[in-house]
Chains A and B, each alone.
Chain A
């Protein structure tokens, strides 16, 4: 456990945020990243996202607090994270990507850190702004999210040793793969449900006849 969350891993994560090109390169080639730390960052991102929805001031917040459920959102974010990593791994395996599964999880996980930071910052700032200053709040969020997305893009590019064009193509294919996986899961659960219902109806039939 010490190994995964050591000070060296933490400080290297922040180095990666400020130097994504170099940082991600050595994550792939010198084991400088940490998968548990990346997962922790995704969990933190989810928590901060929910916190922003609940705690941002009334002026900027038009979200029904009753519609916010932290566990539900955490499950959703983690499921999406898992799906994204798996489908990206599937596609890049076929497209000469050099990255391993753990490099992909680290690349995406570290990429959420700037978004998390900006969510915290903007939630605090929102307490002090009136309506026509809402633009600052939005700008801050947009800049943070854009930085995070660019980081994820660079991360995937570096761990697979791709060019930018190839990264974009694989990302598009990743989303296609993601949809296929979701479709297959739905199909599977549906069919399993039918099988279950079949045996269940046999069971009820027998129960009623005896």
Chain B
């Protein structure tokens, strides 16, 4: 007896020891994943709740003007730089607004290619005054929004002046209109798209010869019924004093290879901070499941830090993916062509990876670079494994290659179990493959109701066809049993339920 007990005890403690060893071994971290980022990357799920995610992008380095020398001389800090863009050759052009110059650096931002301060204007030396926007065309011409000189300067690759775009003439412009270009962009046909100060009608478009042709992508003002009602009640003086209903201005432009214009704007409702304009100037953006391409969804509150995101620049990257830069909270929001929010990173602050006043964003291959006006520096973000998987999977889906994307989505799920896009992607692949039960499982996790419904319908049809004989037999048996039961009941007068109580409501009945 005692022996048995002892043996059992020893066995028990040995098992406990083994268990401890095993868990101890497996608990050793494979890779330190503790975030060293100054912010916690997050995203919004179907219910518009915040879910924390792995980082899709990580800040790699910060470059400021003090890091550069040109021809042996230090070039000095950038002073309130306002824009940057990349050229087809891979160089990066920075509009160093406060220093009235354009700095051209190579794509890794290690050396300065050239600094443009002056150009030859018909024999006279001419320069920039507060250049706030730069763009490079596909033919490598440089477009500079020379804001205080009220013109867009077009320079050839060798630095000689090609032309000016200035002084737009049109009936739609009021007399004495001052053209102050802030941001500029150029499409494959060398048409110039220009955001001008105090120009609420839309983006100004100039033909190749510099002629102003009209406005593009006008944002309509929405007046609510309530506001209309109050304006009806108000007297003329009150109406004159009240705020004008002015459409929001555009803040940044980018043009994709197909000629669609991505333009960011500040939406006071926080619903749409970016537009995708087709060649007719109509907005054709898709808004995704949350009906929102306006940045943060949680914007309530009365502090300086609350309120809708303010998109100040947008960059079209590849395969329908575009990133928007929010200056309100210093975050970068990335969407796919369906308007799904892919990932969010960045923040306000002074640490690496955060900004004080972000003004422009650009991509260099898979990296993203963000220009900070107050700090006068450029932050490099490079994609992590998580970001790379999402980017590639979305690109495959964009190309219609959903089956190939499954493997990538499964690896995304290893990193981020609750990723709805990944679950939906896998579910859709199972749906096409014909495995409806698995498709239903993943599509429900991905909250893809439409596809789930399709999967369920096919699952149900399969089930009914497979089990038709059983189901029909059961039905047949029930009918027979019922008929037989009625016959017996009639013959023998069996009463199954005795009717209790009175029928009807009246006590006298």
A45 close to chain B: CB less than 8 A:
no
CB distance from B93 to the nearest CB of A (A): 47
Find chain A residues with CB under 8 A from B506 CB. 22, 26, 30
Given the known inter-chain contacts A26-B506, A30-B507, A58-B444, please indicate yes or no for A11 contacting B453, CB distance below 8 A: no
Find chain B residues with CB under 8 A from A30 CB. 505-507
A162 close to chain B: CB less than 8 A:
no
Interface of A is mostly: helix
Find chain A residues with CB under 8 A from B444 CB. 58
B230 close to chain A: CB less than 8 A:
no
B456 close to chain A: CB less than 8 A:
yes
Q: Does the CB pair A131–B501 fall under 8 Å?
A: no
Find chain A residues with CB under 8 A from B500 CB. 7-8, 11
The residue among A11, A27, A58 with the most chain B CB atoms within 10 A of its own CB is A58
CB distance from B108 to the nearest CB of A (A): 46
CB nearest to A6 among chain B residues: B501
A19 to B450, CA, bound (A): 42
A93 to B74, CA, bound (A): 92
| Interface residues as binary, B432-461 with A (CB distance below 8 Å gives 1, 0 otherwise) | 000000000000100001101110110010
Q: Does the CB pair A15–B505 fall under 8 Å?
A: yes
A59 close to chain B: CB less than 8 A:
yes
A130 close to chain B: CB less than 8 A:
yes
Q: Does the CB pair A130–B505 fall under 8 Å?
A: no
A80 to B505, CA, bound (A): 29
Q: Does the CB pair A59–B505 fall under 8 Å?
A: no
Find chain B residues with CB under 8 A from A64 CB. 47
B24 close to chain A: CB less than 8 A:
no
The residue among B454, B500, B505 with the most chain A CB atoms within 10 A of its own CB is B505
Q: Does the CB pair A130–B453 fall under 8 Å?
A: yes
B493 close to chain A: CB less than 8 A:
no
Instruction: Report the contact-size class of chain B (Cβ under 8 Å from the partner).
Output: 10 to 19
CB nearest to A27 among chain B residues: B505
| Interface residues as binary, A117-158 with B (CB distance below 8 Å gives 1, 0 otherwise) | 000000000001011100000000000000000000000000
A25 close to chain B: CB less than 8 A:
yes
Interface residues of B in 491-509 (CB under 8 A from A): 500-501, 503-507
Given the known inter-chain contacts A59-B456, A130-B460, please indicate yes or no for A8 contacting B449, CB distance below 8 A: no
| Interface residues as binary, A11-54 with B (CB distance below 8 Å gives 1, 0 otherwise) | 11001100100110111001010000000000000000000000
Given the known inter-chain contacts A8-B500, A64-B47, please indicate yes or no for A59 contacting B507, CB distance below 8 A: no
Q: Does the CB pair A128–B452 fall under 8 Å?
A: no
Return the contact of A131 from the options B47, B453, B504, B505 (Cβ within 8 A). B453
Q: Does the CB pair B460–A26 fall under 8 Å?
A: no
A66 close to chain B: CB less than 8 A:
yes
Q: Does the CB pair B450–A131 fall under 8 Å?
A: yes
Given the known inter-chain contacts A11-B501, A26-B507, A30-B505, please indicate yes or no for A59 contacting B452, CB distance below 8 A: yes
CB nearest to B505 among chain A residues: A26
Q: Does the CB pair B47–A130 fall under 8 Å?
A: no
CB nearest to B461 among chain A residues: A130
Q: Does the CB pair A130–B456 fall under 8 Å?
A: yes
Q: Does the CB pair A59–B501 fall under 8 Å?
A: no
CB distance from A134 to the nearest CB of B (A): 9
CB distance from A153 to the nearest CB of B (A): 18
Find chain A residues with CB under 8 A from B449 CB. 58-59, 62, 131
Interface residues of B in 359-384 (CB under 8 A from A): none
| Interface residues as binary, B35-60 with A (CB distance below 8 Å gives 1, 0 otherwise) | 00000000000010100000000000
CB distance from A103 to the nearest CB of B (A): 14
Find chain A residues with CB under 8 A from B460 CB. 128, 130
CB nearest to A26 among chain B residues: B505
Q: Does the CB pair B501–A8 fall under 8 Å?
A: yes
Q: Does the CB pair A23–B505 fall under 8 Å?
A: yes
CB nearest to A131 among chain B residues: B453
Q: Does the CB pair B504–A59 fall under 8 Å?
A: no
Given the known inter-chain contacts A30-B507, A64-B47, please indicate yes or no for A130 contacting B501, CB distance below 8 A: no
A64 to B45, CA, bound (A): 11
Find chain B residues with CB under 8 A from A128 CB. 460
Given the known inter-chain contacts A7-B500, A128-B460, A130-B460, please indicate yes or no for A32 contacting B505, CB distance below 8 A: yes
Interface residues of A in 54-95 (CB under 8 A from B): 58-59, 62, 64, 66
A38 to B223, CA, bound (A): 49
CB nearest to B47 among chain A residues: A64
A62 to B503, CA, bound (A): 44
Excluding A8-B501, A11-B500, A12-B505, 17 further A-B contacts by CB distance (< 8 Å) are A7-B501, A11-B501, A12-B501, A15-B503, A15-B504, A15-B505, A22-B505, A22-B506, A25-B505, A26-B505, A26-B506, A30-B506, A62-B449, A128-B460, A130-B453, A131-B450, A132-B453
Interfacial residues, chain B to chain A (CB-CB below 8 A): 47, 49, 444, 449-450, 452-454, 456-457, 460, 500-501, 503-507
Please provide the 3 A-B residue pairs with the shortest distance between their CB atoms, ordered closest to farther: A26-B505, A131-B453, A130-B457
Sample of 17 A–B contacts (CB below 8 Å) = A11-B501, A12-B501, A12-B505, A15-B503, A19-B504, A22-B506, A32-B505, A58-B444, A58-B452, A59-B449, A59-B453, A59-B456, A66-B47, A66-B49, A128-B460, A130-B456, A130-B460
